[in-house]
Structure 1
Amino acid sequence: MTLPPGYRIVDVPAESAREWLVADAWAFPGDIDPDTALEWPSALDWTRTRGVRADDGELVGTHASFAYHALPVPGGRVAAAGLTWVGVHPGHRRRGLLRAMITDHVRRSLDRGEVLSLLFAAEPAIYGRFGYGLAAHQLRLTIPRGAALRDVPGADDVRIRLETVDPERHGAAVAAVHGSVDRPGWTARESAPQAVAFLHDPHQLRGGAEPMRIALAERDGVPVGYALLRRKIDWQRGGPRGVVRVREICAPEPAVARALWGVLVDLDLTSSVEAGCLAVDDAVVHLLVDVRAAQPDWQDNVWARVLDVPAALGARRYARDIDVVLELSDTLVPANGGRWRLAGGPDGAEVTATRARADLALDVRELGAAYLGGVSLAALASAGLVTERRAGALLPAAAAFGWPVAPVASFVW
């Protein structure tokens, strides 16, 4: 999309970091001074930061992305772009700047060979019109202290060490354990700046809580899981009512999950544990004897946008054999539009352009929603968002696109 007169899209180098932070503060108001934030380590890859400048030189729009070279998708991995820091100055809204930046991001991502774009939406109503579909959901739980957990064999063999987070001491273990997870949508912090920034712990972002702690799970001295947490004490007349805020928990094994949650729900001076960014099938959902007492709250997680249809569909695996012709619409990337035959199954798939009669018709937004295996094509069809052109085609295709492990990203970038 062409910008209106008076604006241009530009690269934003690291030397312009303060200007970037000022522009971001206009789009996302807060109480952190840009000069303070400038002293913190930046997660950004400054080769992937872009913005919109007005003719007077002011930076009035920003967008950036992270490179995820091996994003887990059902049965495979793809190169993906994690869109972030998207903002427009409130004095320059409704002029097409956002659409121009999204178009720029899509074009540059395709040029880099990235077949998928992911984001967390500050406002969910915005990104559907650019082809992003809600592909993963998350749970937020508030678990009462002392909540009963089911037993898991081997949990007693896992040692939990509670320490204050030290990026130099704990960074490698956190990265190794987090990177070992093979769950669709599970974005690893692949770049060193992103990993460093994630563990940075300025007091301005603690919300009155203590410095960040780590519950490090080990077996025979080898890290096998962890939870990053903060406690906030609240002294009341009836006694302490502190809360444990879990920033991230990574427990690839059942015994590790049981050992970590057993510690988290039994910390002194606390009355509850708050945890978000949990997959809807996270182990704790099944470990809790009374899951209702944890007050489960369903929220949106990652939104996905398929950039290259044949490459993306051909890179993932399918839960059962599938042979279906999809008729896609995509106003932003016309090359994705048309009819595609998807034929394959658990061992792989081929995607070819075809003129054959369509079995299902949908927009690229719905394809993105279903791509990670956590949203059913049949559910989308029930809302009128997928059309069955050939009787009997919908349910087999929906079953094939599904995946036994729910997608989620464990942190917001």
Structure 2
Amino acid sequence: MNTLPAGYRTAVVPPERLEEFRTVDQLAFAVSPDPEVERLLPFPVPLDRLMAVEAADGRYAAVHGSYDLVMPVPGGQVACAGLTWVSVRPDERRRGLLRTMITTHLERSLERGEPVSALFAAEAPIYGRFGYGSAADQVRLTVPRGAALRPVAGSERLTVRLERVDPGRHTELVEDLYVRAGAGRPGWTPRATPVLRAYTVGDPPSRRAGFEPLLLATVLDGQDVRALALFARKASWGEDGADAVVRVREASALDAASTHRLWSFLLDLDLTATVETPPLAVDDPLLHLLVDLRPTRRRLTDNVWVRLLDVPTALGARRYAGPADVVLEVTDTLLPANAGRWRLVVDAAGDAEVTRTDADAHVRLDVRELGALYLGGRSATALGTAGFVLGEGRDLARLTTTFASPLAPVCPWMF
């Protein structure tokens, strides 16, 4: 669907125009070039996945890119195009450039065999109209120092080691534990490339905002690393004494005891007053460990947004909570091949077969709502109550149960 003004065209970004690509992003997001960051951390998006809209005079008017990701879904995983760096120059807005870029992204992703796309929305109202559904939430906590945790057996025998982050030694350790800690949680997407993993532990001084160099805390059972956290403190002194902030960038743990030991350490550092968590799933163990949640400050926001590009392939890539036989009538204005009625048959093992059908629909919904349901963190019944999924109450309840995940979806890092 080409909505471009006369003389404009989409184009692959060659390596020699990368700086122009970045300039469009800087203008759109009101950020300044940072040579130090560019020196320490390579450009993260694969160059063969960069696209631009060229104006009639040849300059870039808008840009976008994508990551080649593998996203965990309930009971499996799916190839996922992680849409990123979507930027339109301020003097080129309201001209149809974004719609053309999104359409180009969807088409190219399908050509690469990626049945799902996902993104983090800089502004929440933008992407729903292109079929992306809000599929997960995240919560960030600000916890007072010394907040009590409920006891967990085995925590007391674990030890903690603290050291400065060394990218050469710690990058793969952090990623390996991150992947293992998120096993079974939808959305918990691995960092697909060495560059993305480098960003996880990257610590350019210009981005510290007064915080100390990045630290690594590891929880050990003998020599076995069971949990870790990347964090830094910002020293501060108030009228009543030390008032430092602990900001945790990432926290991963393999079991309840190591989770308890890790947070026991982070919540009781000397000279600190508050601890800021990274993005957590809405059912994260810390929310259950805290004896009293009331003194914490909690901010709930949307996390990853999901768009199904190939409905039968995407639905067939995940498993379901129990047997089902339901007909879905899907609307999709951007990808007409997805539109129509699909029969979803789930066997006793949770595996699904998805086929075209002329049978009457049990549930009617847009591809946006199907994306919201896909990771198992939304309720078809709730969306029905809001008027966005149509069907009888018993059919919506059955769909809610079928799509549900035992763990709430989340992606802890933003792409």
Tell me the TM-score normalised to structure 2 length: 0.96
Q: Which amino acid aligns with 1:21?
A: R
Counterparts of residues 6-17 of structure 1 (less than 5 Å):
6-17=7-18
Alignment partners' CA distance in 2, 1:249 and 1:37: 23
Cα distance, 1:85–1:79 mapped onto 2, change above 3 Å: same
Indicate whether 1:349 and 2:352 are aligned: yes
> What residue number does 1:222 align with?
224
Shift of 1:33: 2.1
Shift of 1:51: 1.2
Alignment partners' CA distance in 2, 1:265 and 1:19: 44
Q: Which amino acid aligns with 2:388?
A: L
> What residue number does 1:248 align with?
250
Query: Which secondary structure does the structure 2 equivalent of 1:195 belong to?
Result: helix
Q: Which amino acid aligns with 1:280?
A: V
> What residue number does 2:204 align with?
202
Shift of 1:37: 4.3
Shift of 1:241: 0.7
Contact 1:18/1:38, CA 8 A, preserved across alignment: no
Alignment partners' CA distance in 2, 1:33 and 1:309: 40
> Structure 1, residues 76-124: CA drift from partner, whole Å, max 9, x if none?
1111111110010000001111011111111111111111111100000
Contact 1:22/1:34, CA 8 A, preserved across alignment: no
> Structure 1, residues 157-184: CA drift from partner, whole Å, max 9, x if none?
3322111111111011111111222210
Higher mean alpha-carbon deviation, 144-153 vs 197-206, is at 197-206
Shift of 1:15: 3.0
Alignment partners' CA distance in 2, 1:396 and 1:196: 43
> What residue number does 1:45 align with?
46
Question: Which of 256, 264, 267 is the equivalent residue of 2:266?
Answer: 264
Contact 2:283/2:407, CA 8 A, preserved across alignment: yes
> What residue number does 2:143 align with?
143
Higher mean alpha-carbon deviation, 152-161 vs 300-309, is at 152-161
Alignment partners' CA distance in 1, 2:253 and 2:14: 38
Unaligned runs of 5+ in 2: none
Shift of 1:220: 2.6
Indicate whether 1:383 and 2:386 are aligned: yes
Higher mean alpha-carbon deviation, 336-345 vs 281-290, is at 336-345
Higher mean alpha-carbon deviation, 85-94 vs 36-45, is at 36-45
Shift of 1:391: 5.9
Alignment partners' CA distance in 1, 2:178 and 2:300: 23
Identity %: 50
Alignment partners' CA distance in 1, 2:12 and 2:159: 48
Structure 1 runs (4+) greater than 3 angstroms displaced:
34-38
Counterparts of residues 57-136 of structure 1 (less than 5 Å):
57-69=58-70, 71-136=71-136
Alignment partners' CA distance in 2, 1:337 and 1:251: 42
Question: Which of 278, 286, 289 is the equivalent residue of 2:288?
Answer: 286
Counterparts of residues 361-380 of structure 1 (less than 5 Å):
361-380=364-383
**Over aligned residues, Cα RMSD in angstroms?**
1.3
Shift of 1:36: 4.4
Q: Which amino acid aligns with 2:248?
A: V
Alignment partners' CA distance in 1, 2:17 and 2:161: 41
Shift of 1:42: 1.9
Cα distance, 1:37–1:22 mapped onto 2, change above 3 Å: farther
Instruction: Give the count of matched residue pairs.
Output: 410
Contact 2:81/2:117, CA 8 A, preserved across alignment: yes
Alignment partners' CA distance in 1, 2:114 and 2:409: 19
> Structure 1, residues 29-68: CA drift from partner, whole Å, max 9, x if none?
02x3254443232211111111112122222211111111
> Structure 1, residues 275-296: CA drift from partner, whole Å, max 9, x if none?
1310000000000000122222
Contact 1:79/1:115, CA 8 A, preserved across alignment: yes
Alignment partners' CA distance in 2, 1:273 and 1:77: 33
Alignment partners' CA distance in 1, 2:269 and 2:14: 45
Query: Which secondary structure does the structure 2 equivalent of 1:204 belong to?
Result: helix
